[in-house]
Structure formats: C-alpha cells, structure tokens
Amino acid sequence: MKKIFIIFISIIVTLVIGFFVLNTIIGRMELVGSSGISSNIIESKKRGVFIKEYTSSPNPYKINDTLQVTIKEAWLEYRWYYCDNLDEAGIYPGFQYHLCIRSTKQDICKYKPFDISIGISGDKYMRISSSSSLVGDFKSMPGDTIEYIVAKGRLQNNMDTIGIVLGKLVLIKI
C-alpha cells in the first residue's frame, strides 16, 4: 500500500512539474514577436531601447484639485518587441517611440480612461499600462518638453467631443 501511495505521489508531482514546464514554454512562445514596454529605466537600458529621461516640476504634478501624477520615473524608449531570447529586444522599423511613466497606484486609480483623457489625439495620448504606470506612443521623436492636455471625457477624434479641459501634464527632459 505504501508503494502505491509513493508511486501515486510521484506521478502527481511529475504531472505538476510537467504542467509548469509546458506552461512556461508556451508562455515564452506567445511572447516572442509581441510588443513590449519596459517596466523601468534599468530594464529599458538593459534592453538597449532607452533614449532619454523626463521628469515634472513640481513632482507630484497636480493637474487639478483631485488629479495628480507622481513621476517615479518617466522615459522615452524605442517601440520594441520580444526576441527569442526574452531578455533581448528587437526595435520596430520606422523609429516609433513609447513614453513610459511609472507612477503610483493611488494616482493611477483616479485616472478613469472613459471619464478622463490624457491627450486629445491618437498621436499624443496616454493609456494605463499597469496599476501604477502610463504609456503613450509617438510616431516621431518628441522634443525636450512634452505637454498633454487633460480633459474630461473619453478620447475622440477632436477637442469638441472631449469636454472640459481639466489641466495639463508637462514633462521635461532631465
């Protein structure tokens, strides 16, 4: 009876380990070729996609009485994708860029994409990329100062459909 129990436990352990290994392999395969965004400046530099760092003044940057963005890190990087070696990055042709802002959960949870828009056009628009970060895309290299209009309402095709301007978010190159 003890031998059967040991064999049974060995089979269960082998199946669980096999499941995790297979899941890891499939997960890695799904990432290869997909778009990536660095989680911080160190990772961006390690991948070779970092361009420049930004900050705000003051920090946290107050947009209005209820909205602010605390800039823990803000950086521009090339738009990139995962390679076979997941620690490496391939840079998309055409020199497209991501502006990444690492903030706080407290600040980001107040930003509701259907109620508030950071940016008023698809070319200059911030979206939530995690519970404590924002990301925006640029087709061409932005300057040393980046300014976003923050408005009430959801991003539409033009300013008339956005609504009341609440303020702005300004980032400057360090």
Q: How far, in Å, CA of 150 to CA of 133, rounded?
A: 16
- Summarize the confidence of residues 161-169 as an average pLDDT: 77
Range of the domain at 92: 34-173
Dist CA 101 CA 70 (whole Å): 9
* Mean pLDDT in residue range 113-128: 76
What's the mean pLDDT in 114-142?
83
Quote the pLDDT of residue 160: 52
The confidence score (pLDDT) of residue 16 equals 61
| pLDDT > 60? residue 164 | yes
Q: Where are the alpha helices (DSSP H) in the chain?
A: 2-31, 41-47, 105-108
**pLDDT higher than 90, residue 24:** no
Residue 47, token pair as written in the block: 């991948």
In whole angstroms, give the CA distance from residue 128 to residue 163. Answer: 20
- Quick check: 18 pLDDT over 60? no
Decide: 77 and 49 in contact? Cβ < 8 Å.
yes
How many domains does the chain divide into? 2
| CB-CB neighbours of 119 under 10 Å | 21
Q: What percent of the chain has pLDDT over 90?
A: 40
Residues 6 and 74 in one domain: no
Kindly tell me if the per-residue pLDDT of 154 is higher than 50.
yes
9 and 79 together in one domain: no
Residues 145 and 86 in one domain: yes
